[in-house]
Amino acid sequence: MTEFYQTGLGRKFYERDIPKIAESLSTIAEQLTRLNQNIEKLNENMSKPEKAE
């Protein structure tokens, strides 16, 4: 019986699809990090008392 990785679809999956998935996950992680940093900055700015003029 032919193993999945030996089929055309299997090769495509391992050689093209998996690397794309890994790249997408990396991009998502970077964007979540940026989002969290922005939320932290926003929270810091909101918790500072406003100066009276």
Position 53 scores a pLDDT of 65
Q: How far apart are CA 22 and CA 30, in angstroms?
A: 12
Position 8 scores a pLDDT of 97
Which residues of the chain fall short of a pLDDT of 70?
52-53
Position 51 scores a pLDDT of 72
Q: Is 0.85 surpassed by the pTM of this model?
A: no
